Amino acid sequence: MKEKQGIYSHYTLLEDIDGGDGRIYSSLSRLNLNITKKVTVSYFATNSKENNKYESERISFKEFQHRMLNDKDFNENVFMVYVEGVDYGIDLSGGELWVFSENIMTADFIYNQLIS
């Protein structure tokens, strides 16, 4: 846990928590968070003829949850998600997890939910 100018943050490499990216993205999609802002998500396009072509879009958290739970291609190809709540943010990208908040209890709670 680090504090910088009133912002508390947790950081970890996903390989250090023995679950890889997919488990954390799925855990995020199962959290009961009141998110009203759009979620930024990037994923490799499975129906593209170009190798490593990816798409980025801003979707509702509800749509993100639905696609993670019901669309296997989407679920397996997500590589970046940024979620912003009222007083916290969650950034999953490049094999890293960041959770930050102005409230230490919020940062701790979300981080622990994601890694457990």
Tens of pLDDT, residues 14-29: 877 655 556 788 888 8
CB of 116 closer than 8 Å to CB of 26: no
Residues of the chain with pLDDT under 50: none
CB of 25 closer than 8 Å to CB of 75: yes
What global pTM score does this model have? 0.84
How is the chain split into domains, by residue range? 2-115
d(CA 5, CA 13): 23
